[in-house]
């Protein structure tokens, strides 16, 4: 067997050696130039009449722009032909190296050295990326070791040749001579061919040959940055670089000055010394290659962990080198430092090649240059220390700096294995989608094994979802299941921890939101998605930001929106914040219609909206779909979702529990179950768990009927618009009175007036016979008025447990601050009783899993459950519930009715209930009051009110599936292969009489 064949089998296991040989040569000749400058630093310093601080300033001025230039070069290398970039970069640095030898002044020298720095700026991203794509995973320890050996060869030949030539001729001559070998390897580089990016990673995952040969789409710079930043291994390495850079970059110049100032060595002697020392680096690399292969096969993270031990050893050697008075000892320490560090190089570079995603591999190797900049600036300080305190002290300062850097990089070892797994999974996922699209198998959106966390708390666990082009998919689930988080991850608002999001065959897992929107993905947020300070017209114009130059399209699309929602035309010049909730949702959908997305994701379409408004919104959703837009609809009401969606996904606790036809979901009671409230109704009245203040008798309710809340002629206007107009009503003891009406009818304003958050323009409010019209909200609460809010107004910075404790404030037995400060027994007993009642309420409402979570971390529905718990803790005599079902899942809503009745029966409280869910309100209310435009338009038994023509016209509309958001109701309008229509039955209940 020939020597070349034996080398090829030993190093690359049969893969061609030519690419490695060329990249080795280019790396070595670049090191010739750089090492020559380091060993000749004293002569260059003296020639230009610089101090030690001056020459280190020059080094810093050269290094910073080169480091900054590396990033744009790396980004282009991830998008263009890396071989050509490496080749033309070598031509450029060769010319600038020649210019170094001709530099007549310090300014010209700085320019020439900055240009010659292109070697490092080009080699780092292109060479490391090319090696990973030329050679398979199991030989990367070998090829990176050989490639790094080029640095040792350059550091051996460079100082030796430069020292001799400078001694016999001039310091300029070596820079002129070194352009010759550079030219030779440039010629050889023109024969290289660009390899496929990530092919070996896809093969390691067992992908098909078609998938292996399918290259990923290159990302934008912002997306590439986000991709790289989520690799935890890289982050730790970057954080170590400011400490390591100052030591490594300045080492050659520091030691050259050290040998001249301390031991009096001339340039020829220093050159020979540096050359001899670098032989130890070759020995270290030879030792490091088999170590790297063993570590990679066993656990790639061990290479980085090993650095912690090596760093400690190097720090000790460095200290000995700084203080030794014996030249031989200094040389031995120098050689040991170089050789020890070289042992690690193959393993570290091979590990990084596995942990960096292939499509950003060049940038991943180069982002560290930004973190090197602060370390380079430290060289200025080191130069000043050398001038003021001596070169030994300057060397000693570097010891702790290097030690800190080594410790930080070693800590990255525990992340390597998971980062490598993520890279391979993502690479295969995108390649599979691209290959499938080439075969005509269309999947517009593919979410694969997606993990997402908030502040260390994992929310999504391996979520998989796929959406075909043109379909409507319903995304359903329990409260806090992660539905909104999934939408945010798809649209780029939150970054994934692992997995892939691929849209139209292109990975956009880490694309920033503006780029995701530009690709045709639009998210309509839950609740209010418009800009409240902008007018309706300005909001609609903003929706067309991607089509600013297509004026005809914008006019036509805007007119279509106004045709769908005429009320927006009437409110054209009004601020969006003044619109009702339904009108704001119309405006938000109008913006989405104008944006003409390929994928539209709607979060909580029906949240807090009247049935007739939901019916109108569903019409525009269908119109958007008919234009070819694919839609993902997040909806708490299964019934509403069934009116438009053919396919459903059901989520629970961050995982997909069901995927199939929407009709099949209804046959899965194990999935569509109440998580929070099921059983809460019976638990409320359990004497074992119930608080003594809740154990009231039903006799209180069944006694003589009396009015506990009376409202007479209540009126309130805002800027000429009358929100509540001469409203009068009474709430009897033990009664549940439902309040319905379209969005903007004045329901919430009425509650604000009753609870004291707004002063009335006219009218009178009486609670238990006492006039409370002029009493503030805290006074009304103190005498027994409880209020929940439509958007669950809780303290976001408190935990769930602390929030419920705060709600029990009125029930605290001991209020003496001095006794609390001294922790007297009465205080301890009071706190123990309070904690017991809090625990009972948490258990009752099914909030145990959320006990230690902050309110800001909860979903809309989960906050609603906490809000209900706080209202129960308050123990009021009159309860105002403002849309308690808003934002909670359908099965929770169905369980809410029994709970509300049990609350009324066990507490004896009267309930005033605003609710858009008709099955819920009609099943629990004794009477219903209907409002429209601030006035009462109907009052009576639920069955009578919902049939009232005025109520149907203004509020209910005609869609039975929309009216019946919960319960076992009709699925009218469901577009399935077997269309089915069922009748809707509304349960009624007569008003209770004494």
Rounded CA separation 887/892 (Å):
10
pLDDT, the chain, mean: 80
Rounded CA separation 164/159 (Å):
8
Please name the helix (run of DSSP H) or strand (run of DSSP E) that holds residue 655, with its range, or none.
strand 655-661
Q: What is the CA radius of gyration of the chain?
A: 37
- Are 250 and 382 in contact, with CB atoms under 8 Å apart? yes
> Angle of helix 327-355 relative to helix 118-134, nearest 10 degrees?
50
Instruction: Kindly list the distances between the CA atom of residue 831 and the CA atoms of 591, 805, 808, 978, in Å, as whole numbers in the listed order.
Output: 52, 10, 11, 60
Rounded CA separation 468/302 (Å):
43
Rounded CA separation 991/942 (Å):
9
Q: What is the dihedral of CA 271, 276, 282, 283, to 10 degrees?
A: -160
* Residue 605 in tokens: 């379409």
pTM score:
0.69
Rounded CA separation 147/31 (Å):
12
Instruction: Return the pLDDT at 24.
Output: 92
- Are 367 and 225 in contact, with CB atoms under 8 Å apart? yes
**CA-closest candidate to residue 975, choices 523, 505, 713, 621:** 621
Rounded CA separation 884/790 (Å):
7
CA 738 from centroid of its chain's CA atoms: 41
The long-range contacts involving 180-185, CB below 8 angstroms and separated by at least 24 positions, are 181/25, 181/28, 181/29, 181/32, 182/26, 182/29, 182/30, 182/90, 182/93, 182/94, 182/97, 183/94, 184/25, 185/22, 185/25, 185/26, 185/29, 185/90
> Which residues in the chain show pLDDT less than 50?
1, 682, 686-701, 969-994
At residue 739, the 3 state secondary structure works out as strand
Q: What are phi and psi of 828, to 5 degrees?
A: -60, -40
Rounded CA separation 97/742 (Å):
78
Rounded CA separation 991/456 (Å):
52
Instruction: Return the pLDDT at 964.
Output: 60
Q: For 441-496, what is the HEC assignment?
A: CCCCEEEEEEEEEECCEEEEEEEEEEECCCCEEEEEECCCCCHHHHHHHHHCCCCC
E runs forming strands in 839-989: 878-882, 910-914, 927-932, 935-940
Instruction: Give CA angle at 580 (576, 582), nearest 5°.
Output: 105
* Alpha carbons within 13 A on the beta-carbon side of 706: 12
Rounded CA separation 636/475 (Å):
9
Task: Judge residue 820's burial from the number of C-beta atoms within 10 Å of its C-beta, 0-12 exposed, 13-18 middle, 19 or more buried.
Answer: middle
Alpha helices, H only, 647-705: 662-665, 680-684, 699-702
Q: For 667-683, what is the HEC assignment?
A: CCCCCCCCCCCCCHHHH
Residue 834: strand pairing partners: none
Please name the helix (run of DSSP H) or strand (run of DSSP E) that holds residue 965, with its range, or none.
none
**CA-closest candidate to residue 142, choices 300, 2, 9:** 9
Rounded CA separation 675/687 (Å):
23
Rounded CA separation 945/938 (Å):
6
At residue 336, the 3 state secondary structure works out as helix
- Using the CB atoms, write b or e for 593-625: b if 16+ within 10 Å: bbbbbbbbbbbbbbbbbbbbbbbbbbebbebbb
Q: What is the dihedral of CA 563, 564, 568, 572, to 10 degrees?
A: -30
Alpha helices, H only, 78-105: 82-100
Contacts of 738 (CB under 8 A, 6+ apart): 913, 914, 915, 921, 922, 924, 925, 927, 928, 929, 942
């Amino acid at each position: 067997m020939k020597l070349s064949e034996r080398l090829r089998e030993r190093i690359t296991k049969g893969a061609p050696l030519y690419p490695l040989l060329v990249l080795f040569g280019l790396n070595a000749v670049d090191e010739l130039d750089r090492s020559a400058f380091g060993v000749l630093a004293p002569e260059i310093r003296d020639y230009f009449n610089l101090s030690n601080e001056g020459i280190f300033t020059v080094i810093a001025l050269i290094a910073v722009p080169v480091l900054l230039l590396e990033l744009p070069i790396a980004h282009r290398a991830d998008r263009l032909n890396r071989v050509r970039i490496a080749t033309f970069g070598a031509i450029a640095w060769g010319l600038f190296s020649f210019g170094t030898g001709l530099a007549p002044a310090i300014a010209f020298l700085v320019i020439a050295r900055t240009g010659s720095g292109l070697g490092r700026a080009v080699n780092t991203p292109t060479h490391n990326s090319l090696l990973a794509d030329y050679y398979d995973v199991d030989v990367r320890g070998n090829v990176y070791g050989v490639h790094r050996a080029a640095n040792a060869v350059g550091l051996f030949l460079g100082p030796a040749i430069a020292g001799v030539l400078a001694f016999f001729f001039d310091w300029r001559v070596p820079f002129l001579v070194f352009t010759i070998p550079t030219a030779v390897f440039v010629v050889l580089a023109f024969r290289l061919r660009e390899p496929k990016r990530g092919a070996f990673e896809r093969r390691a995952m067992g992908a098909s040959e078609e998938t292996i040969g399918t290259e990923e789409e290159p990302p934008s710079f912002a997306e590439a940055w986000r991709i790289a930043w989520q690799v935890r291994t890289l982050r730790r390495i970057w954080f170590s670089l400011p400490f390591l850079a100052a030591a490594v970059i300045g080492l050659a110049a520091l030691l050259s000055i050290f040998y001249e100032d301390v031991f009096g060595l001339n340039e020829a002697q220093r050159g020979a010394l540096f050359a001899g020392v670098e032989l130890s680096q070759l020995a270290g690399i030879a030792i490091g290659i088999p170590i790297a292969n063993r570590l990679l096969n066993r656990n790639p993270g061990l290479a980085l962990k090993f650095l912690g031990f090596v760093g400690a050893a190097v720090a000790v050697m460095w200290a000995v080198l700084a203080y030794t008075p014996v030249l031989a000892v200094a040389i031995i320490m120098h050689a040991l430092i170089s050789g020890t560090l070289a042992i690690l190089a193959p393993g570290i570079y091979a590990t990084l090649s596995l942990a960096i995603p292939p499509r950003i591999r060049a940038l991943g190797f180069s982002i560290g240059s930004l973190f090197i900049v602060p370390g380079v600036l430290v060289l200025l300080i080191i130069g000043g220390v050398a001038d003021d305190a001596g070169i030994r002290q300057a060397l000693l300062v570097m010891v702790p700096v290097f030690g800190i850097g080594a410790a930080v990089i070693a800590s990255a070892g525990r992340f390597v294995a998971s980062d490598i797994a993520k890279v391979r999974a993502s690479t295969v996922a995108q390649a599979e989608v691209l290959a499938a699209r080439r075969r005509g198998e269309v999947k517009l959106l593919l979410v694969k094994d997606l993990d997402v966390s908030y502040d260390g708390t994992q929310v999504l666990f391996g979520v998989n979802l796929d959406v075909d082009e043109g379909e409507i998919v319903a995304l359903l689930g329990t409260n806090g299941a992660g539905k909104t988080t999934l939408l945010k991850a798809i649209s780029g608002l939150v970054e994934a921890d692992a997995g892939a999001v691929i849209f139209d065959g292109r990975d956009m897992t880490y694309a920033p939101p503006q780029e995701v929107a530009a690709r045709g993905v639009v998210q309509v947020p839950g609740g209010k998605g418009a800009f409240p300070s902008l007018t309706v017209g300005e909001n609609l114009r903003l929706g067309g930001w991607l089509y600013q130059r297509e004026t005809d399209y914008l006019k036509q699309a805007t007119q279509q929106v106004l045709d769908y929602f005429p009320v927006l035309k009437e409110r054209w010049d009004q601020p969006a914040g003044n619109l009702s909730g339904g009108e704001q949702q119309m405006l938000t959908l109008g913006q989405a219609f104008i944006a003409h997305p390929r994928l539209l994701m709607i979060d909580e379409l029906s949240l807090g909206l009247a049935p007739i408004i939901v019916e109108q919104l569903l019409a525009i959703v269908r119109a958007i779909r008919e234009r070819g837009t694919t839609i993902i609809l997040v909806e708490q009401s299964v019934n509403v979702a069934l009116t438009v969606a053919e396919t459903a996904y059901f989520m629970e606790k961050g995982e997909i529990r069901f995927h199939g036809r929407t009709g099949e979901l209804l046959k899965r009671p194990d999935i569509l179950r109440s998580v929070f409230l099921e059983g809460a109704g019976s638990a409320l009245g359990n004497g074992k768990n119930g608080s003594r203040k809740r154990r009231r008798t039903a006799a209180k309710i069944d006694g003589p009927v009396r009015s506990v809340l009376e409202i007479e002629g209540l009126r309130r206007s805002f800027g000429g618009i009358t929100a509540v107009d001469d409203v009068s009503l009474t709430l009897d003891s033990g009664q549940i009175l439902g309040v319905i009406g379209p969005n903007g009818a004045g329901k919430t304003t009425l509650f604000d007036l009753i609870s004291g958050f707004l002063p009335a323009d006219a009218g009178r409010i009486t609670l238990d016979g006492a006039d409370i019209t002029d009493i503030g909200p805290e006074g009304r609460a103190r005498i027994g008025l409880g209020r929940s809010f439509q958007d669950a107004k809780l303290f976001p910075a408190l935990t769930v447990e602390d929030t419920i404790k705060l709600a029990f404030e009125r029930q605290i037995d001991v209020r003496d601050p001095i006794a609390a400060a001294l922790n007297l027994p009465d205080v301890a007993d009071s706190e123990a009783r309070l904690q017991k009642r809090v625990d009972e309420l948490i258990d009752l409402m099914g909030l145990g899993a959320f006990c230690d979570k902050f309110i800001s971390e909860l979903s809309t529905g989960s906050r609603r459950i906490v809000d209900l718990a706080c209202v129960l803790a308050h123990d009021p005599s009159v309860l105002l519930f403002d849309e308690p079902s808003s934002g909670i899942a359908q099965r929770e809503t169905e369980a809410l009715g029994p709970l509300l009745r049990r609350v009324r029966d066990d507490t004896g409280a009267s309930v005033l209930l605003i609710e858009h869910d008709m099955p819920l309100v009609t099943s629990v209310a004794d009477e219903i009051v209907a409002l429209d435009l601030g006035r009462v338009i109907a009052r009576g038994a639920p069955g009578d009110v919902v049939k009232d023509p005025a109520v149907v016209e203004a509020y209910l509309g005609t869609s039975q599936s929309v009216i019946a958001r919960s319960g076992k109701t009709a699925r009218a309008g469901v577009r399935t292969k077997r269309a089915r229509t069922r009748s809707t039955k509304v349960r009624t209940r007569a008003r209770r009489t004494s």
